[in-house]
């Protein structure tokens, strides 16, 4: 990398194009997608282009970053001309979607038929479809010049972008068969196929759609970016642009701790430049404070787009700066904070990970993307294994990284990592095949051939993948083969969706069959899931842990997750505050400021959550392989 401040003036996000232009931001959780998307939206708004930023993430953070209330309705962003924003709410989108389907039939169909359609639209897949349908709405409007999509972490973004193809195919196949889909009769959603076909064409048109991957300069983020770019290419979507974010400024890395991190980052940057040699790249340095609020986002836009012309557009706020906004020292360490040692884990919190005499202990780690859930999950499962308990580490994240952290190839069947420790990945595609085959095998001999054909059509729905993955997930919970099962879950919004499935899944099973068989199938399913729900709510058998790093956005998201879990009757028992900068390496104002910020938020975490808080330090080296995991484990047990 010749110059971290290099700007690409021919970059797709600089270039004027025929409106509307759709810009998608994607990447691994926690890499800075939202801040980069917000800064890009601000830039285009200030340029005089009518700009909308839409979050498709179930755990959206637009409100936190813009520091104003944003919801399911489009709102004007305060302090920026021509800029509007919206956060797609899955529940609201579901209500709107159902009404859109049902409304045309209200005046021509009897009430019992309307009730039947409503029931069919109450299955778990409707939520996924509805949020996607709302997303397509924005790809069909000409109300804006620029629409920026701040997407969920990569695995779920890929799923979102595959949906138009999958649903279009499913509707076409169903129309040739019974005419029935899990979203109701084909005639009620036939118009959707045309919309999905148009959306697919737009996504594949590089003149109308741009994809920007945001990554951190670390191996896991590079791996995720490469994997995602290949998956997009496989569905006909061209490569876009790379933003490498969070680069340590060389001049503040005078101590060995950060010097090692700096050189490790530079190696990854060089590797990324070789892999993505044909893609425009941007480089953004780490700041010594959070990026939130309009002024900070404007400053970020200056660095992202560069040049005096941009500064003039942004306004006078940035002209007051005498140092680069990239790593400007914003304040001195506050005297209100005392630099106490990290709070080591004690026997009491550790006991939350160990089995009790009631059977297998299930441990769930959830939180915002990029906070270190996977690493903490790996360390915890290693801890329980070393205590002599047969432990299984399960990832339910479509962008799973436990194999990279453990340095072991992980598949869809448990593989032994070390003594007492096994790991497995829930793969949606594999789970779907097994689930479909099992359901049909169980149905043969019980139902007519006509009923079996209807069930198979239903099972071919794209949303069955989600149910199949969930079914595989609960098989591990029901298993008696392990003393401890540690779940490394997808980022918060998708984890909450996963955990809500037992509450509405039985209805979907009932819809796949009819008559007496339906009642029995529903009863069996409800009894099975009743046990799962009871297990999730039992704090003696299940531990829910929130992982975050001490900054406002992860705190806000985790707190909302805790409240949502509580609404479902699930109690959170532990907060893990990760990536705390050790005091002894803070030898300059840059890192003193970052640590002071962390300590301020640690106090807020303790007061706000009212739960035990376990603090885990920022490690000198990236945690990969058993040697580094063993070293990290020492921080949990000292």
Supply φ then ψ for residue 223, to 5 degrees.
-60, -45
What integer pLDDT is reported at residue 548 of this predicted model?
94
- For the four alpha carbons of 315, 320, 324 and 325, in that order, the dihedral sign comes to negative
- In three-state form (DSSP H/G/I as H, E/B as E, the rest C), the secondary structure along 393-451 is EEECCCCCCHHHHHCCCCCCCCEEEECCEEEEECCHHHHHHHHHHHHHHHHECCECHHH
**DSSP class per residue in 240-284:** -EEEEEEEPPGGG--SHHHHHHHHHHHHHHHHHHHHTTTS-EEEE
Q: How far is CA 54 from CA 4, 23, 31, 41, 147, in A?
A: 29, 10, 18, 10, 7
Mean pLDDT of 483-497: 71
Lowest-pLDDT choice from 319-333, 413-427, 487-501, 577-591: 319-333
* Strand order from edge to edge, sheet including 51-55: 75-76, 83-87, 51-55, 146-150, 21-26, 209-215, 241-247, 281-285
pLDDT in tens, 235-283: 777 778 999 999 999 999 999 999 999 999 999 999 999 999 988 999 9
Mean pLDDT of 508-519: 52
Mean pLDDT of 386-392: 95
Residue 13, exposed/middle/buried by CB under 10 A (0-12, 13-18, 19+)?
buried
What integer pLDDT is reported at residue 202 of this predicted model?
81
* CA atoms of 267 and 316, how far apart (whole Å): 37
The yes-or-no verdict on residue 31 having pLDDT over 80 is yes
Tokens of 251: 């001049």
Mean pLDDT of 286-307: 88
Residue 166: pLDDT band (50, 70, 90) is: low
pLDDT in tens, 527-552: 777 777 788 889 988 999 999 999 98
What integer pLDDT is reported at residue 262 of this predicted model?
94
What integer pLDDT is reported at residue 244 of this predicted model?
95
Task: Give the mean pLDDT of the chain.
Answer: 78
What integer pLDDT is reported at residue 549 of this predicted model?
92
Tokens of 23: 């810009």
What integer pLDDT is reported at residue 9 of this predicted model?
35
Higher local confidence (pLDDT), 112 or 40: 40
| Bridge partners (DSSP) listed for residue 548 | 577
Supply φ then ψ for residue 476, to 5 degrees.
-70, -40
Mean pLDDT of 200-229: 86
- For the four alpha carbons of 320, 326, 332 and 333, in that order, the dihedral sign comes to positive
What integer pLDDT is reported at residue 478 of this predicted model?
80
Contacts (Cβ under 8 Å, ≥6 apart) of 100: 133
* CA atoms of 34 and 24, how far apart (whole Å): 11
- Kindly report the pTM of this predicted structure: 0.76
pLDDT in tens, 586-621: 999 999 999 999 999 999 999 999 999 999 999 988
**What SS3 class is residue 22?**
strand
The yes-or-no verdict on residue 318 having pLDDT over 60 is no
Place of tokens 């499935």: 501
- From 190, 138, 195, select the one nearest 164 (Cα to Cα): 195
Lowest-pLDDT choice from 302-311, 332-341, 344-353: 332-341
Share of the chain above pLDDT 90, in %: 33
The yes-or-no verdict on residue 117 having pLDDT over 50 is yes
The yes-or-no verdict on residue 440 having pLDDT over 50 is yes
Mean pLDDT of 349-378: 86
Contacts (Cβ under 8 Å, ≥6 apart) of 300: 35, 36, 39, 284, 291, 325
- What are the helix (H) ranges across 140-255? 154-176, 186-203, 219-234
Give the angle 78-81-85 at the CA atoms, nearest 5°: 60
Domains 21-90+135-172+197-286+289-320 and 347-637 in one fold: yes
Which H helix or E strand runs over 545? strand 542-548
Residue 326: pLDDT band (50, 70, 90) is: very low
What integer pLDDT is reported at residue 429 of this predicted model?
78
CATH (residue range 347-637): 3.40.50.300
The yes-or-no verdict on residue 134 having pLDDT over 50 is yes
Mean pLDDT of 5-28: 59
- From 1, 398, 15, 50, select the one nearest 240 (Cα to Cα): 15
How do the domains of the chain map onto residue ranges?
A: 21-90+135-172+197-286+289-320, 347-637
pLDDT in tens, 404-413: 889 888 888 9
Higher local confidence (pLDDT), 127 or 335: 127
Check if the beta carbon of residue 574 is closer than 8 Å to that of residue 614.
Answer: yes
Mean pLDDT of 521-529: 66
- For the four alpha carbons of 305, 308, 309 and 315, in that order, the dihedral sign comes to positive
- Peptide bond before residue 20 is cis, with ω within 30 degrees of 0: yes
Fold of the domain spanning 21-90+135-172+197-286+289-320: Rossmann fold (3.40.50)
**What SS3 class is residue 230?**
helix
Check if the beta carbon of residue 531 is closer than 8 Å to that of residue 193.
Answer: no
Check if the beta carbon of residue 476 is closer than 8 Å to that of residue 485.
Answer: yes
Mean pLDDT of 289-309: 84
Residue 337: pLDDT band (50, 70, 90) is: very low
Residue 347: pLDDT band (50, 70, 90) is: very low
Share of the chain above pLDDT 70, in %: 72
Mean pLDDT of 155-180: 54
């Amino acid at each position: 990398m010749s110059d971290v401040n290099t700007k690409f003036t021919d970059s797709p996000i600089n270039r004027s194009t025929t409106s509307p232009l759709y810009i998608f931001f994607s990447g691994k959780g926690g890499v800075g997608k939202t801040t980069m998307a917000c800064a890009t939206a601000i830039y285009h708004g200030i340029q005089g282009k009518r700009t909308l930023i839409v979050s498709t993430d179930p755990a959206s953070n637009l409100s936190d970053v813009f520091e104003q209330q944003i919801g399911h309705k489009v709102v004007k962003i305060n302090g920026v001309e021509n800029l509007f924003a919206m956060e797609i709410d899955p529940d609201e989108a579901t209500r709107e979607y159902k009404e859109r389907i049902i409304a045309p039939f209200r005046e021509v169909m009897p009430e019992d038929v309307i009730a039947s359609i409503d029931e069919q639209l109450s299955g778990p897949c409707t939520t996924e479809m509805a949020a996607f349908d709302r997303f397509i709405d924005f790809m069909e409007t000409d109300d804006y010049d620029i629409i920026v999509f701040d997407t969920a972490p990569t695995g779920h973004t890929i799923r979102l972008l595959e949906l138009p193809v999958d649903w279009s195919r499913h509707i076409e196949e169903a129309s040739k068969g019974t005419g029935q889909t899990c979203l109701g009769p084909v005639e009620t959603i036939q118009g959707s196929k045309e919309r999905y076909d148009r959306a697919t064409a737009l996504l594949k048109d590089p003149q109308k759609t741009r994809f920007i991957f945001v990554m951190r300069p670390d191996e896991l983020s590079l791996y995720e970016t490469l994997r995602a770019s290949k998956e997009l290419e496989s569905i006909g979507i061209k490569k876009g642009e790379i933003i490498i974010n969070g680069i340590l400024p060389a001049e503040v890395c005078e101590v060995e701790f950060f010097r090692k991190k700096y050189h490790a980052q530079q190696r990854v940057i060089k590797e990324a430049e070789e892999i993505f040699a044909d893609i425009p790249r941007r480089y953004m340095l780490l700041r010594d404070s959070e990026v939130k609020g309009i002024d900070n986002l404007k400053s970020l836009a200056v660095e992202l787009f560069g040049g005096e012309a941009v500064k003039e557009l942004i306004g006078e706020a940035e002209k007051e700066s005498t140092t680069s906004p990239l790593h400007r020292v914003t304040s001195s360490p506050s005297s209100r904070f005392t630099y106490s040692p990290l709070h080591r884990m004690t026997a009491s919190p550790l006991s939350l990970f160990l089995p009790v005499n009631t059977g297998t202990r299930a441990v769930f780690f959830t939180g915002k993307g990029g906070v270190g859930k996977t690493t903490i999950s790996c360390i915890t499962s290693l801890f329980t294994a070393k205590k002599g308990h047969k432990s299984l580490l399960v990832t339910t994240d479509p962008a799973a990284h436990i194999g990279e952290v453990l340095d072991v190839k992980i598949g869809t069947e448990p593989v032994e990592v070390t003594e007492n420790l096994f790991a497995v990945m829930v793969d949606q595609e594999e789970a779907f095949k097994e689930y479909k085959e099992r359901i049909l095998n169980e149905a043969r001999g019980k139902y007519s051939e006509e009923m079996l054909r209807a069930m198979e059509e239903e099972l071919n729905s794209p949303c069955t993948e989600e149910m199949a993955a969930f079914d595989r997930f609960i098989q591990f919970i029901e298993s008696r083969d392990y003393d401890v099962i540690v779940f490394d879950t997808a980022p918060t919004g998708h984890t909450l969706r996963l955990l809500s499935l037992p509450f509405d899944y039985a209805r979907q099973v009932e819809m796949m069959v009819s008559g007496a068989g339906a009642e029995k199938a529903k009863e069996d399913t409800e009894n099975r899931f009743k046990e799962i729900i009871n297990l999730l709510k039992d704090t003696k058998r299940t531990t829910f842990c929130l992982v975050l790093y001490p900054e406002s956005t992860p705190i806000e998201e985790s707190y909302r997750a805790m409240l949502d879990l509580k609404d479902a009757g699930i109690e959170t028992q532990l907060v893990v505050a990760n990536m705390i900068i050790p005091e002894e390496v803070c030898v300059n104002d840059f890192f003193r400021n970052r640590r002071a910020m962390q300590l301020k938020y640690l106090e807020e975490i303790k007061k706000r959550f009212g739960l035990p808080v376990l603090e885990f330090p920022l490690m000198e080296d990236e945690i990969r392989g058993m040697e580094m995991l063993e070293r990290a484990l020492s921080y949990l047990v000292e």
